[in-house]
Structure 1
Amino acid sequence: MSSTPDRKDYRRVAILIETDDSWGRAVVSAIGQYARRHHWRLLIGPRDSQNRLCLPKRWTGDGVIVHLRTRWLANHLRKFQLPTVDVATMMPNERWAGRVATNDEERAEMAVAHFLERGLKHFACYAPSLGRYSDSRARIFAEKIQQAGYHCSFFDAKEGRQGWELEHHDVLKWLAELQRPLGVFASDPYPARQLAEICDQGGLRVPDEVAILAGDDDDLLCSLAWPRLSAVQLGCHALGEEASLLLDRLMDGAPIPEETTFVSPLRIHSRQSTDILAVSDRELLPIVEFIHREAPRGLQVKQLLREFPISRRSLEQRFRQHLGRSPAEEIRRVRLDRAKELLLETSLSISEVSEACGFVSSAHFSTSFLKQMGTTPSDWRSTHGSGAST
């Protein structure tokens, strides 16, 4: 016979995170899984008469996990003096809260690598102010582009013209001044979808002229956009888990950490909006396309030499010149990208994933995965495979 635990046996935790996108829902889902294991009672998304997330006046709780977006919410929560964990970096000076957030450095590096893998050499960032993300997200991307030896252009919205009120003409004028094909990093799915719609209305072809990558994934927005939008898939499950662990420590009396706990993004969820190979060497392009198609079938470099009339020396030199990596590295990269997709989206065993991606053995697959990701395929799947944003 089950019994209700005494008040001392559980903790009351409020979750102040918007659930209008995949990121919010996935983070809250991960917190919910933790709550079930640790006897938390959750108050999810309470609001006031103005529809603002807030704590009820008479609520007697033990802790809060929040996505701090506004000064009002920060001031509101500070008055309660409860252990609090913020799951973003939009308000980094609020030192009264612990913080767990996506690693923006790694997000930017992943985005830059995705564009460079497609041979792009011209870049821009589209991040109009929407109150959804930190300004540092775009700045860090631009820094990483510059470190790679390229320039990054920013769209500057006119005063008072932000979000969905932007004049499409201004955006198209900005794009017209930039060299193409152009790789554009949009801070999250909302500006990414807006930019795709503006390009469609202005007659700019995505991805052939403008390749668009969103800094966060959303299964609905990215899949329904035309074309479907590529995005950085974040470690939402790990983020929710880490935030819950930190809050538990704070509720036990631990001091607020001075440093943010950063969670790595998972992968690029590649869709049509970056499905481009901007390789100026027209003889190299079909070879790269062949690799993308055949790598998961056990492709070897020697097969490329049989399939295409090119010497090994010339093949290596042209790959290095145009893509910055060898043919063998490109084959391995394509296989590992496919492996991450299968680990997240299927229940295939590690050996089955290895075979499906063209690795010679499970041991070779695990070694290659560990070298790139710093963890084994099974550990990576257990950390990110349940509740991760798709």
Structure 2
Amino acid sequence: MPPASSASPDSPRVALLVETSTTWARSILDGINRYLRKGDYWQIFLEPHGSNESIRMPAGWVGEGVIADIKDMAMARQLHALDIPVVNISQLTFPGLAFPTVTTDISACLRMAAEYYFERGYENLGYLRLDRNAFDGNMSREFGHFVQHAGGRFFPKSVKNRAWGVADWNVSIRELAGWLRELPKPVGLFSWAIGREVIHAVHLAGLRIPEEVALVMLSDDEIFLEMSHVPMSGITHPGAEIGHEAAQMLADLMAAKATAAPPAGTPVKKRSAGPVRQSRPSAPPPVRLIKPLGIRTRQSSDVLAITDPALRAAIGYVRQHAGEPLQVDDLARHAGVSRRTLEQKFAQTLERSPAEYIRDTHLGRARELLRETTLPIPQVADASGFSSPEYMAQLFRARLGVSPLRYRRQVSAR
């Protein structure tokens, strides 16, 4: 059991201004709760809220700290005026109002999505963004930069916006279907908020998903992505780790503020006459960006956009046997070509060797097992096709900078 802590009149009063309707938000709250179970006692203030709400602090509330998903300038101004530590967990920033922040590394998400498609042989990538939404517009531009810098072709599309992170329910599916028909095929699409609309438009256009149009979403809210004629793939965010780290950051900030405050009744020293010293500019508040955990592939993107039959056969063989030890010669035999020919095909299309592709696939399976199971490390190595736990650990340190055990602790928010 965690160390026991008890309430006292001096226990910090902490407001959690976080919506409670999505998997992402609930995992963040779970991470905060895990931190508190280690021993800190906070008086928590939390209410149920929907994902599109801009939550406001009740008038007259007095407390010592806030963790908030800050969504607009009005909310930012209200929280800034409290003059208490506030940790922001949203990706938004506000001119002139800088907050300590713990959130997902959105640039890493965009890069991950682009690489996901390129690894599967896609050259044509598109982004569907919400009209008049600066945050989504920035993501579209950055995703396009990744795509074009890697030599791909980029096709952005703007869709009418109804609310924060939500497409208008009256968006023209017919117009969207017309846009999809005109795109070169196969095409891989990425979006923050426009998912089921794409599925409907693909069906109306008479296209096949994922063979002609593939789709990956920025989030991985299971209910929303599964409740579709075609279940949608999505990026898995480190919500529990964000919540845990946000709670740790807030605890540190509250402790620092309490230490800096003079004891009650301490007389204020008068400033002596003479020249006024210019104060040093304060350091910017801490910002921690946490990388996404991976992409959960569902039917909307479970395909390879590779036309070469030998290369397609080799990649399919690796995916089917991801948990087994594999050799390049195994792939070549299955594909019906020589090892040298297969290596040339991998280099020309995927810009990596067959051996690197095998290692990447084994690494991806190991990361998935470490995230989603409690298997011991040796069993994870065996089930991921590694020859030994030591070799798996060596690859983890080389690619991710941490051991497998450390990786598991990170993604489970300790």
Q: TM-score, normalised by structure 1?
A: 0.90
List per-residue Cα deviations over 1:326-350 (Å, max 9, x = no partner): 1111111111111111111111011
Any unmatched runs of 5+ in structure 1? none
Give the Cα separation in 2 of the matches to 1:30 and 1:283. 45
1:170-189 → structure 2 map (5 Å cutoff): 170-187=175-192
Residue among 231, 245, 270 paired with 1:228: 231
Deviation at 1:140, TM superposition (A): 1.8
Q: Which one-letter code corresponds to 2:35 in the other structure?
A: Y
The match for 1:72 is 74
1:120-139 → structure 2 map (5 Å cutoff): 120-129=122-131, 134-139=136-141
Deviation at 1:137, TM superposition (A): 2.5
Give the Cα separation in 2 of the matches to 1:113 and 1:328. 18
Q: 1:184 to 1:44 in 2, by over 3 A?
A: same
Greater mean deviation of Cα atoms: 314-323 or 97-106: 97-106
Is the Cα–Cα contact under 8 Å of residues 345 and 385 in structure 1 kept in the other structure?
A: no
Q: 1:39 to 1:285 in 2, by over 3 A?
A: same
Q: 1:129 to 1:42 in 2, by over 3 A?
A: farther
Is the Cα–Cα contact under 8 Å of residues 227 and 273 in structure 1 kept in the other structure?
A: yes
1:333 aligns with 2:338: no
The match for 2:385 is 358
The match for 2:168 is 163
Give the Cα separation in 2 of the matches to 1:172 and 1:147. 28
Give the Cα separation in 1 of the matches to 2:140 and 2:373. 32
Deviation at 1:107, TM superposition (A): 1.0
List per-residue Cα deviations over 1:134-167 (Å, max 9, x = no partner): 5432322111112111221111236989533321
Q: Which one-letter code corresponds to 1:192 in the other structure?
A: G
The match for 2:21 is 20
Q: 1:261 to 1:238 in 2, by over 3 A?
A: same
- What RMSD in Å do the two structures reach over aligned CA positions? 2.5
Q: Which one-letter code corresponds to 1:25 in the other structure?
A: R
Deviation at 1:132, TM superposition (A): 11
Deviation at 1:52, TM superposition (A): 5.3
1:323 aligns with 2:350: yes
1:277-288 → structure 2 map (5 Å cutoff): 277-288=304-315
Deviation at 1:224, TM superposition (A): 2.6
Give the Cα separation in 2 of the matches to 1:42 and 1:89. 23
- What is the percent sequence identity of the aligned residues? 30
Give the Cα separation in 2 of the matches to 1:201 and 1:26. 36
The match for 2:44 is 42
Computing the radius of gyration from Cα coordinates, the structure with the larger value is 2
User: The residue matched to 2:111 in structure 1 has which SS?
Assistant: helix
Give the Cα separation in 2 of the matches to 1:3 and 1:233. 33
Greater mean deviation of Cα atoms: 271-280 or 135-144: 135-144
Is the Cα–Cα contact under 8 Å of residues 69 and 132 in structure 1 kept in the other structure?
A: no
The match for 1:214 is 217
User: The residue matched to 2:125 in structure 1 has which SS?
Assistant: strand
Give the Cα separation in 2 of the matches to 1:259 and 1:52. 23
Is the Cα–Cα contact under 8 Å of residues 180 and 210 in structure 1 kept in the other structure?
A: yes
List per-residue Cα deviations over 1:304-347 (Å, max 9, x = no partner): 23334311111100111122211111111111111111111111
List per-residue Cα deviations over 1:167-192 (Å, max 9, x = no partner): 112212222221111010112xx422
Any unmatched runs of 5+ in structure 2? 258-281
1:195 aligns with 2:198: yes
Q: 1:7 to 1:327 in 2, by over 3 A?
A: same
List per-residue Cα deviations over 1:56-84 (Å, max 9, x = no partner): 22322111111111233223323322211
Q: 1:229 to 1:46 in 2, by over 3 A?
A: closer
Q: Which one-letter code corresponds to 1:244 in the other structure?
A: A
Q: TM-score, normalised by structure 2?
A: 0.85
1:140 aligns with 2:142: yes
Greater mean deviation of Cα atoms: 90-99 or 231-240: 90-99
Report how many residues are paired: 381
Q: 1:159 to 1:28 in 2, by over 3 A?
A: closer
Greater mean deviation of Cα atoms: 132-141 or 147-156: 132-141
1:246-265 → structure 2 map (5 Å cutoff): 246-253=249-256, 257-258=284-285, 260-265=287-292
Q: 1:158 to 1:238 in 2, by over 3 A?
A: closer
Q: Which one-letter code corresponds to 2:304 in the other structure?
A: L
1:268 aligns with 2:269: no
Give the Cα separation in 2 of the matches to 1:138 and 1:114. 16
1:50-69 → structure 2 map (5 Å cutoff): 53-69=55-71
Is the Cα–Cα contact under 8 Å of residues 13 and 45 in structure 2 kept in the other structure?
A: yes
Q: Which one-letter code corresponds to 2:176 in the other structure?
A: V
Deviation at 1:53, TM superposition (A): 1.9
Deviation at 1:111, TM superposition (A): 0.8
User: The residue matched to 1:253 in structure 2 has which SS?
Assistant: helix
User: The residue matched to 2:184 in structure 1 has which SS?
Assistant: coil
Give the Cα separation in 1 of the matches to 2:137 and 2:69. 15
User: The residue matched to 2:219 in structure 1 has which SS?
Assistant: coil
Q: 1:94 to 1:210 in 2, by over 3 A?
A: farther
Deviation at 1:92, TM superposition (A): 3.6
1:299 aligns with 2:326: yes
Residue among 396, 400, 405 paired with 1:373: 400
Point out 4+ residue stretches in structure 1 off by more than 4 angstroms. 129-134, 158-162
